[in-house]
Structure formats: C-alpha cells, structure tokens
Chain A
Amino acid sequence: MATLQLKNIVKQFGDIQVIKGVDLDVNDKEFVVFVGPSGCGKSTLLRIIAGLENATSGDITIDGRRINDIGPAERGLAMVFQSYALYPHMTVEDNMGFSLRLARVPKAERRDKVMAAARVLQLEELLERKPKALSGGQRQRVAIGRAIVRNPSVFLFDEPLSNLDAALRVQMRIELARLHDELNATMIYVTHDQIEAMTMADKIVVLQKGEVEQVGSPMELYHHPRNRFVAGFIGSPTMNFLPVEFQDSTHEGVQVTLPGGKTCRVPVDGTGVSVATSLELGIRPEHLNLQEDGPLSGRIQVIERLGGATSLYVQMDTGMVTVIADGDVAHKVGDVVRFGFEPVRGHLFRDDGLALTSLHQHPLTGIDRQSNRAPVEGSHS
C-alpha cells in the first residue's frame, strides 16, 4: 500500500539540532520500530513524519510523492498517541468516527466503518461508553480503532504501550502484531522498550542523539551490532564490555588477551587493527557460561534468582560483569567463579566504538517477523 522515504531529515529547535540528517526507507507492509534512549529524537522523527512538526530540511516522500508541505490530515497517515488522546466528551463510536465526521461521510457509512473497526478490536460492546469508563487497555484499543477507521496508508505509533501494566503490555503487543498481519499495513512504531522492538519489528532503527546508529532486522542487531552503542542498547541485561589486548590477526580472526592473562581468538575481521589499537570485548550475559576451567574469573557480588535463570553479578579486576546462569546454580554471594564463552559469541569494538566485522554471518540475521511464521494454508480470515 505505501512506502515511505526519509532523505536527510534535519530538525532544529533554535540552535539545537535534534535530528541530524536521517535517511530511511520504509518498505510496503513493513513494521518498523524506532528505538533509542529518551531524548534521542525518535518521537520528533515520528511527529515529522506525521506532519505535526516541520522538518528544517530534507524530504519526506510517501510512494514517491513529497509530502513536506502537506498538512497532517492529508498525508493519509494515522497516529496513535502515547496518552491515547481520546476525546473525553465523545463516546467510543464518536471518537472512532470523528475523522469521518469531519470528512462529511454520511452517517450510515460512518457507522459501518466504525463497526468494522470495532469488530477487529473487539470493541462492539463499548461503543456507547465514554473514554472515562474504559480501562487502559480498552482506551488503547479505541485509539488504535480511531486510526484504523481512517484506513491510512501508514500507521504511526508513539510509545502506545508505555502506560499499560506489564501483563497488558504483552497482550497488546501480541494484538498489535496480529493487527499488522490482518491489516497488511505499513506501521512505524516508536518505543524505548527494546523488548517491544525485538518482538514486533521487521526492521529496527536504533537512534541516538538524533542520528541513526543502525538499521536492521532484530536478529541482525542482536548478533551483529554495528557499534558499541547498539550492542549495549539491544539485549537485556546489557552486554558486558571487557578491555582486551590485541595480539595478532589472521584469516581466522583476532587473537586477544583477556583480563586474567588467557587468550582467545574471536572470529572477526582484524584488518587495520594493530597492537596500538585498544580493543574492547563485548559478550552478552547469556553467552557467558560457568566453567571450572573458564578463562575469566571473579567474585560474586549479587545473585538474582529468577527461577528459570539466575543472574550473577560478578566483580572482576576490570569491572563488573553479568552472567546469566542456569536457574539451579548453587553459588553464593562471595564465591569465586570461573567462566568462559564460545569465541564466536564475542564482539570486538575499537576505541571509536565501531565493531570489527564478524567473519561468520549468523544464520538468523535475515529473518524478520513476517518470515518467522510457518506458511498457513488458507486459514487467513
């Protein structure tokens, strides 16, 4: 239905540049998630796409048509706000049909469209209620319904789940994913929650300080972060970073000395790296394994038992690392443990933050949410 391109979008508030030249392609029917820490400009970028803010420079095009100077209503987009922004004095039905009413759509047709959207979202019983009489999840659904009724080419979501409690958030996440399949629409979704990003996105855009750090599928970002920021931002708990010393570089990877003196060959491309380069090893907590003869060691400071897994916060000489271990480990605070990792799980970062390219592409990097599904035969409703 719609593709969207951003070309060198810049946004300035006074002297402060909050968006510093963003380029992005959003393909048809794609679920794109903007993710980043607060203040990274992701919401501003969404509002620029929506037309609620003007870009200082750059082009926004939908299906090849430049829409910079077109008002928000004529862009054919619909937005779901973080606060839902329902009209408090209108019933659910009027809320959802407001855009049609403004467009002077006849009452009967309006009702049909609202009913159709209400059916998709299971809101039929609530149509006569006012927003005040709805629960958080229901309000959220009404806000989405209001967007659906407009039949937009692109859906925009501005942190829509952040006001819901954890259980409801999981439920709405699943519902949104279902909706995306059902509506076959292009969606752009802003969140600071990387779990939402990882679970729903076909394509994640990681933003920091108004710049795009990396664009890619969730698995690509997880397995092959382009730089230290993306590596630390994607994944929970965050990746551990250890200072390491460069030894040599061959076609099999880069040999480095770990803290504690042991060596390890990480299969990354070491071209251009020399002894003078200070390197950092990045390794995710879930990829660290407790081993009797592991190359790393430290003293346990805190243990968090979650049942299925246990988080160990281990003090090494060079700093604190997190290890996700089995739920049944018997270690106690104060124990000295040894641990290691498969070299292929390691990442090496240069001092400018960029990652050394991995020699092995992870088999799942190409996968997006669409291709996660096994093909279903004719059961699509």
Chain B
Amino acid sequence: MNKPRTAGRTVGGLRPLALQGPAVTLLFLWMIVPLAMTIWFSLQRYNLLMPGMTGFAGLENYQYLFTDPALWTAMLNTLLLVGWVLVITVVGGTLLAVLFQQEFFGRGIARVLVISPFFVMPTVSALVWKNLMMHPANGVLAWVASLFGAEPVDWFSSLPMTSIVIIVAWQWLPFALLILLTAMQSLDEDQVEAARMDGAGPLSVFFFITLPHLKRAISVVIMIEMIFLLTVFAEIFVTTSGGPGLATTNLAYLIYIRALLDFDVGMASAGGVVAIVLANIVAIFLVRMVAKNLED
C-alpha cells in the first residue's frame, strides 16, 4: 500500500504545482481536444456527401449507430479477435518462454529469431501473409497442402477471421514471449530445486512454481496487448478489407468505413465515442486486475 509521504520540502505548496503545470496542461490538452472534437462531431449532422445537411443532430447519430446491425457484428468481431489472439499469444508465449529458458545450442540466435516478427510492421507482415503464406495459388500453406494431396484453403474467403487471428497472433506472440522470458529469468532457481526435492516433476514445477511466478507478467501482457488489439486495423485493411461482408470488420474498421468510405463524419465520430467507452470499460477492469496482482 502507498504510505503517506512524510512532510518534506518537496511535497505540497505552490512551487511544485507551477513546475508540473506545463507538462500537465500539455498532456491534458493533448487528450481533451481530440476527445471534445469527437464528441462534438458525433452530435452533428456532418456527412461530406451531403454538404447541405448540417446542424445539431442530438443523439440521432447514436440512434442510427445502435440500430445498425453492423455495429454489433463489429463488436463481436473485435471481441473474438482480441480474445483469440490473447489466448494464443499468452499460452504460446508461456510455453515458448519455458522452452527458450532451457539451455541449448544456439539459444541466443534462436531467441533473436523468435522475437523478430514483432519488429515487422503490421502492413508488411499482413502483405507477407497474404501473398506468400496464405495465397491459395502461390502461398506456402497451399504448397504444403498440395504435398499431402489436399485441396488448398482459400484462407481469406473461407476462414477470414481465423486468418486475421493467425496474422495478428504471429505478430504479438514474440511480444508475449519477450515479456514472459524476462520474467522467467527472475525465477529463483532455488525454488525450482526445492520443489524438485519436494517431489515435483517437470509438470508440477510448471503448474505450481513457474506459472504462479509468471502470473504478474501475464497480466501485464494481457493489459498491453488488449489496448493494442482493440485497435487492429492495418492487418484487416491490407488483407480482407473487413470482408467478406462484415466477417472481419472490427470496431476500428467500422469507424473507418463510416468516416472514409461513407464520408459520414458524424456517424464515425459516434462510433469513435463508443470505442472509447468500450476501451475504458476494458481498461478499468484490467487496471484493477493488474493492480491487484501487483499488490500481492
């Protein structure tokens, strides 16, 4: 728990306020101006295709948005995408972290290689996956399928969401691995040995010692990944463009459709506000969970 700081010369008074002032003001403006503008636009009739229709719309934009089935599809898609990527990266990351903690020849190089997908920018990785891996005619996966005499899968039309999940998970797995591997390195070797003396096999050591030790790092991974995964855009834009239909349209992509394909700024802003609310709900839950985890 936070202890109240003892009274000292640096705490309280006007001078520290004056010193903090510029930074706090700047950050506040940085946050409030876009937020206020989004909220303002969301309450306006503001469609670039209909320049005549302007003025205050009240909650009309929200009304249209919430009655639009696309919103609920997009929300579900967002949750599916975030959920599956989190499951894959956390489970895979934990297992890989255990693996890469073992001593083996060339471990240093292997560690660099396994982390490298994280350094590839999302558009590039999406293009690589689209054209080199999952392409039904030229893709590596299609070639592998043909080796076994199977019909190549047209990933983006038959399994669109799965494809996006695979691409995003491929990018974020190294991140989870990186964080969890560092956490693994702080695991007290004596604890593992004590557990071995107590009769624990490799599985028991993993479940009773390693996993509890990684709990904190895992919650950090979940929090950070969730913040970024809620706004996945480039991978969808480059590969499926939200389709087929709305199959891979998440909230971020829906906002993009409304704003830059339909030119409905008001509606897009309303979607943006919904996204902000959603992100904040998630963040509050997460921050509380992580804070609780960090405390004990």
Contact = CB atoms under 8 A, between A and B. Distances in A.
A interface SS class: loop
Interface in B144-192: 188, 190-191
Contacts of A146: 194, 198
B255 to A, nearest CB: 42
B107 interface: no
A86 B209 CA distance: 10
Contacts of A88: 191, 212-213
A86 B213 CA distance: 12
A79 B199 contact: no
A82 B296 CA distance: 24
A73 B198 CA distance: 6
A73 B194 contact: no
A269 to B, nearest CB: 47
Given A87-B209, A89-B215, A98-B208, A73 B193 contact: no
Contact of B190 (A51, A74, A85): A85
A89 B197 CA distance: 18
B208 A78 contact: no
B234 interface: no
Contact of B199 (A81, A83, A87, A102): A102
Interface in A123-148: 130, 146
A89 B296 CA distance: 9
Nearest to B189: A85
B interface SS class: helix
Contact of B196 (A72, A82, A89, A130): A72
By size class, the interface of chain A is 20 to 34
Interface residues of B, number: 18
Given A87-B208, A87-B209, A102-B204, A52 B196 contact: yes
A86 B197 CA distance: 12
A150 B198 contact: yes
Nearest to A156: B197
Contacts of B199: 73-74, 99, 102-103
A81 B194 CA distance: 8
A73 B190 contact: no
18 contacts: A72-B193, A72-B197, A73-B200, A78-B197, A79-B193, A79-B194, A79-B197, A81-B193, A83-B188, A85-B194, A86-B191, A87-B208, A87-B212, A88-B212, A89-B212, A102-B200, A130-B296, A150-B198
Interface of A: 50-52, 71-74, 77-79, 81-83, 85-89, 98-99, 102-103, 130, 146, 150
Interface of B: 188, 190-191, 193-200, 204, 208-209, 212-213, 215, 296
